[in-house]
Amino acid sequence: MTSGNDWVAIVHTKYLAGRPIALLFDYDGTLTPIVSHPALALLSEPVRGHIRQLADKERVSVGVISGRPLNDVSRMVRLDGVYYAGSSGAEVNLCGIRLEWPVSLEVQRQLEAILAELRAALPDFPGVWIEPKPVGFTVHYRGVPTSTASIFGSCFRWIIGRYRGLRSLNICAAFEVTPVEAWDKGTAVRLILAKLPPDVIPVYFGDSENDRPGMLASQAAGGLTIAIGDTAPNCAMYRVESAAAFQTDLSRLCEALITSRDRVLAHSDELAVAK
């Protein structure tokens, strides 16, 4: 893994060489800092402006791939012409084409059963709450005292251990629960790339373990992966120390691509083809 801002120059160089770029962002902890409650993770207007500029740029595609429900992340970003994925990849909106991993009756039964168990246990753990999603759910314990979180963690692991069709990740003071066979962020990356030119270079940005499948899928497609903060997967090729530092990098990338001489290069390519 390489520290620093080298990835900005690499993306810019590949873009100047004529390659299309797909910028694929996680939301919480990447485009926004981690905050005390998901509802408070508002996308800043400068960051929204950068994403809009990049999405409007020729040969640049943008996607936001989140653990949030698809409708939630779409509402938070509020930009057209962007690919969206929610529920950690189990829901996808490919610029108007909506797809969702089909939940079987057996998986739905397991989800309903474990939710009933967890809700029955919550009165013993004040401050812990459940965020339902179309595919799976997340149990949040941010802000709960360490001792309470530890006891709840043991209780949660005991409960979910009896549901073989479900998996969980402990990310950002929350347990994210999804079906074992459900689409993940890697699936979302592959579905997005299938809509783009075959020589596109994916660049994936994420901060949590649920970003690992997205990073691996991007690397398998010859792309770059950038870890945000110290909780990101160790498979990333580059690391930025925080979401705040990443916003600075995003500004630099936006400026580099917007002011690049790609129009001149593209015109030169057209002349060469014409000859």
Give me the pLDDT at residue 264, please.
45
CA distance 100 to 187: 11
Contacts with 153 (C-beta within 8 Å, 6 or more apart), sequence order:
141, 170, 175
- pTM comes to 0.91
What are the structural domains, with CATH classification, of the chain? 2-101+183-274 (3.40.50.1000), 105-179 (3.30.70.1020)
Q: What is the pLDDT of residues 175-230, one digit of tens each?
A: 999 999 999 999 999 999 999 999 999 999 999 999 999 999 999 999 999 999 98
Give the per-residue pLDDT at 27: 97
Specify which residues 239 forms β-bridges with.
3, 227
Q: Locate 20 and state its tokens.
A: 């299309």
Q: Give the tens place of pLDDT for each residue, 118-154.
A: 999 999 999 999 999 999 999 999 989 999 999 999 9
Which residue bears the tokens 């962002």? 25
Report whether pLDDT(261) > 70.
no
Say which amino acid occupies 231. Answer: T
Residue with tokens 């009933």: 116
CA-CA distance, 23 to 17, in Å (whole number)?
17
Pick the closest to residue 245 from 1, 2, 29 (CA basis): 29
DSSP structure class, residue 32 = B
Q: How many CB atoms lie within 10 A of CB 85?
A: 30
Query: Are 30 and 41 spatial neighbours (Cβ–Cβ below 8 Å)?
Result: no
pLDDT at 180: 96
pLDDT in tens, 42-95: 999 999 999 999 999 999 999 999 999 999 999 999 999 999 999 999 999 999
Judge whether residue 267 has pLDDT over 50.
no
Tell me whether strands 129-132 and 166-170 are parallel, antiparallel or unpaired. unpaired
| Helices 6-16, 243-258: inter-axial angle, 10-degree rounding | 20
Predicted local distance difference test score (pLDDT) of residue 271: 47
